[in-house]
Amino acid sequence: MSAPTGGGALITVPVELGDRSYDVVVGPGARHRLAQMVGPGVRQAVVVTQPALVDQAARLDAGVPTEILTLPDGEVAKTPDTVAELCRSFARRRLARSDLVVAVGGGVVTDVAGFAAAVYHRGTGYVNVATTLLAQVDAAIGGKTGVNLAEGKNLMGAFWQPVGVLCDTDLLATLAPREWACGRGEMAKYAFLSGSRPDASILDLALAEQVARCVRIKAEVVAADEREGDRRAVLNYGHTLGHALEGMALDGGDLRHGEAVAIGLVFAALLARRLGRIDDERVELHRRVVAGFGLSADLPPGADPEVVVAYMARDKKAHHDLTFVLDGPTGVEPVPGVDPADVLATLAEMSTLEATA
């Protein structure tokens, strides 16, 4: 699938959280709104980014003196040690609690810089300038920050809302195809979170409108359930299998987050049908949306169902039993206590469908 294009005016989506409310600005050139998000008490800003984005970060105008700090590329940056080093760097620069951290990058940068901002001086303001599709539609919005431990992904973190988020679609022009796929898996998820009668209309929108639609849905969910007590769990649709496949990929494979979520969405649809929650037409809609974003719904070669279930049981989103977020008559919702036999049968069904395709 080629990258959709189209200019147009900037779209502002509010995230309504009382005194922690903020705006997400979407569209071409949105990064140039940074200075407007810098409050009157800010004396300086620290920009956190990665080596490949330093030139882009240096051209940002925050309206106050800034200094750039870089993180290592990739998931290796998501560690407690990285956060501690960032906080030490903030302290050496005499960053005050009233100053600002600006995260320029994808989900790794927004997760790490946001967590550092959350714990430095027990909470320092930050702005996310999201440079990947995945970050623009998901990771940069909602205040979930965190890093990985040896025992699992994102097990150390905090809910700390940004001052604002800038989703400049111009920055996506140079994304590699796999990075587009990573974001489109999350975009496919949002097609099923807008009510009990989802459709494939998101496929027909221009890029900025696609991003804005995803942001609006996430903003509504976050406003209703900021700390993932209940409603926010729907944002994990497709993620229980997706995270399991990612975890297995870390052991030698090469599956990106959005690609794994796309497979997880179709798996969740098949599982929901097995449990009598949805019909064949709804399953086909899942396949159509995933395929419409140019993504595969096939399990990776050699994915052993027993091993996959073991990984799913370890996922923090699965709680202490096999809990899945599944489609149903009233829309997507968490379903606890799913029988492992149904999960294994659904994985076997996927394998059989692949073999006969």
Question: Is 236 a known active-site residue?
Answer: yes
Question: Is 78 a known active-site residue?
Answer: no
Instruction: Enter the pTM of the model.
Output: 0.92
Packing angle between helix 257-274 and helix 340-356, nearest 10 degrees?
110
In three-state secondary structure terms, 293 is coil
156-191: pLDDT as tens digits? 999 999 999 999 999 999 999 999 999 999 999 999
pLDDT of 28 > 70? The answer is yes
Which listed residue (213, 243, 277, 317) is catalytic?
A: 243
Confidence tier at 302 by pLDDT (50, 70, 90) = confident
44-90: pLDDT as tens digits? 999 999 999 999 999 999 999 999 999 999 889 999 999 999 999 99
Question: For 307-334, what is the mean pLDDT?
Answer: 82
CATH code for the part of the protein at 236-356? 1.20.1090.10
Confidence tier at 8 by pLDDT (50, 70, 90) = low
Predicted local confidence at residue 152, as pLDDT: 77
Q: Which comes out higher in pLDDT, residue 77 or 249?
A: 77
Question: Is 317 a known active-site residue?
Answer: no
pLDDT of 315 > 50? The answer is yes
Confidence tier at 154 by pLDDT (50, 70, 90) = confident
Rounded to whole angstroms, the Cα distance separating 306 from 83 reads: 36
Question: Is 314 a known active-site residue?
Answer: no
pLDDT of 277 > 80? The answer is yes
Question: Is 239 a known active-site residue?
Answer: yes
Residue 139: exposure state from Cβ atoms within 10 A (0-12, 13-18, ≥19): buried
Domain spans, the chain:
11-184, 236-356
Which listed residue (59, 92, 94, 122) is catalytic?
A: 122
Phi and psi at residue 191, to the nearest 5°: -60, -20
Predicted local confidence at residue 322, as pLDDT: 87
Question: Is 121 a known active-site residue?
Answer: no
Rounded to whole angstroms, the Cα distance separating 324 from 312 reads: 10
Q: Which residues contact 267 (CB under 8 A, 6 or more apart)?
A: 238, 241, 346, 347, 350
Which listed residue (75, 220, 228, 349) is catalytic?
A: 228
Predicted local confidence at residue 354, as pLDDT: 61
Predicted local confidence at residue 274, as pLDDT: 98
Which listed residue (184, 216, 232, 277) is catalytic?
A: 232
Which listed residue (33, 184, 218, 317) is catalytic?
A: 218
Predicted local confidence at residue 5, as pLDDT: 39
Question: For 344-351, what is the mean pLDDT?
Answer: 93
CATH code for the part of the protein at 11-184? 3.40.50.1970
Which listed residue (31, 33, 78, 144) is catalytic?
A: 144
Which listed residue (78, 239, 286, 317) is catalytic?
A: 239
Predicted local confidence at residue 195, as pLDDT: 75
% pLDDT > 90, the chain: 80
Single-letter code of the amino acid located at 76: V
Predicted local confidence at residue 355, as pLDDT: 56
Which listed residue (31, 213, 256, 257) is catalytic?
A: 257
Question: Is 128 a known active-site residue?
Answer: no
Confidence tier at 109 by pLDDT (50, 70, 90) = very high
Confidence tier at 6 by pLDDT (50, 70, 90) = very low
- C-alpha distance from residue 30 to each of 11, 35, 276, 283 (Å): 9, 11, 44, 36
Rounded to whole angstroms, the Cα distance separating 117 from 331 reads: 35
Question: Is 32 a known active-site residue?
Answer: no
pLDDT of 221 > 60? The answer is yes
* DSSP state, residue 73: S
Q: Which comes out higher in pLDDT, residue 195 or 279?
A: 279
CA nearest neighbour of 205 among 356, 6, 28: 6
